[in-house]
Structure 1
Amino acid sequence: MSIQTIKANGISFRTRISGKAGAPWLTFSNSLATRLEMWDGQAAAFADAYQILQYDTRGHGQTEAPAGDYSWDQLTGDVVALWDHLDIGKSHFVGLSLGGMTGLGLALEQADRLLSLTACDCRADAPEMFQNMWDQRCAGIAEGGIAATLEMTLAAWFTEGFRQAGNPAVEQVRQMILSTPVDGYLGCVGALRQLDYKKRLPEIRTPTLFMVGAFDGPHPAEMQQMQALVEGVRLQVLADAAHISNIEQPVLFNRHLAAFLDANG
């Protein structure tokens, strides 16, 4: 396992590379307000069969956080630039929320670089209610910093039972949220406001799996609509999970991901 700082697409990224040398690549992309460690459970589970790339998304963790709105061209371009730097011709890609949306962009614009796509707990457009939610969160951050969104975010990300069970993962995610640079958070929200992939989803030809927590607010219904637009895609709903489904239900998540990767290896 190695931590590398890589200059790519104009900024410095923190990356972690692990797994089996010479095996197919498997790239993990984090959600808003987390960092590469959110995928540690999956990296460990798949390290015997894949070369693993985890990276802190632009504006997160120890990756640079430029001021201003980010774009999907930047977020997808970041992944391609990292792959180019590491001589990764093709990779499986797994992303959750913001990372899942990045994966949709890759499937639409860089399909020749993907072995497969697993997009989790995400949507493909930015309707008015979605825009309004981000307006409210950004207003809260302007007044009270990232901490102003903390409890609301945790309540959406994990079921009440998981939060109250004393699982150490909740505290780990809490610290990830609090350590997120404001410029990075707001920059990625700028991209979320521009999200407009839904009408293009029928163009996707990459082998694709959608996964979503059963208690992830509107996302199960959203991803069901997305499933209807992508030929051959499977939708797996994970019981007893909210938004950060890979952490709340890691055994179930890993089982479905392994079956999909095995079928598209």
Structure 2
Amino acid sequence: MLGIKRVLLGFLALFILPLGLHAAWWAAQDRPRDWSTANWSSAGLLPPATQKPEAMLRVYAGRVGWWRGIFAHHTWIVIKDRDAARYTRYDVVGWGSPVRTDNWAPDARWFGQDPEQIASIEGPTAEAMIPRVRDAVRQYPFSKAGGYRAWPGPNSNTFVNFVLAAIPEAGIALPPTALGKDYRADGSLFGLTPSRTGVQVALGGLLGVTVGWIEGLEVNVLGLVAGVDLRRPALKLPGFGRIGWPFEPVIGDADPTPTRG
């Protein structure tokens, strides 16, 4: 009985309490009430493509709308070839054909929320990765109509993690609030993490454990993630996400400005 009580107390402390606190904070904020009144314009995070000749790859995350924003981010990928005159953005959404190209500005707000930059890779490093990103987008196994499920996946974060698995050397880990990232697109129960620096046991995105140098230690319960990051010390909590060392380096030829991880 004592062991069961400790498990329950741990669950309350690591999952229920943080989620409840973040829900209270979220409810107190002034946010758009529906899709049509939200701001979907550029947040001004990217310069015009013609002013940035080097190849580039970026990953962004934006809080989703309504009550789901309490615990979930939507993520997407932006690429640009060397000397290209425009960026290309890839998302997965829940209506029509799931995989979308350039439906929004590459750095657009998501449901009125400014996106966070998860990672940026530029120069020859990005140039070598971009063909594999495009191949992974084409090979995404849930690209047909009906191939989307908000919870527990496959969803937008399942898609981004699938693409990141094609460029493991990028060393990019999605935030713990990227609900659906732990839904393994290959349907396996056990396998390597997207960075190939660790292993993951995942039961359809509902339950699982991830241990990796890039991903850290994460426990997934019904899509909610709690854990720790040792590489860049941080605590991961449902709702709040990553609390601690906030920086992710820019890789390649870019100015090494720190961004949120």
Higher RCO (C-alpha under 8 Å, 6+ residues apart) = 1
Query: Which structure shows the bigger proportion of residues in helix conformation?
Result: 1
Q: TM-score, normalised by structure 1?
A: 0.29
Larger radius of gyration: 2
Q: TM-score, normalised by structure 2?
A: 0.29
Query: Which structure shows the bigger proportion of residues in strand conformation?
Result: 2
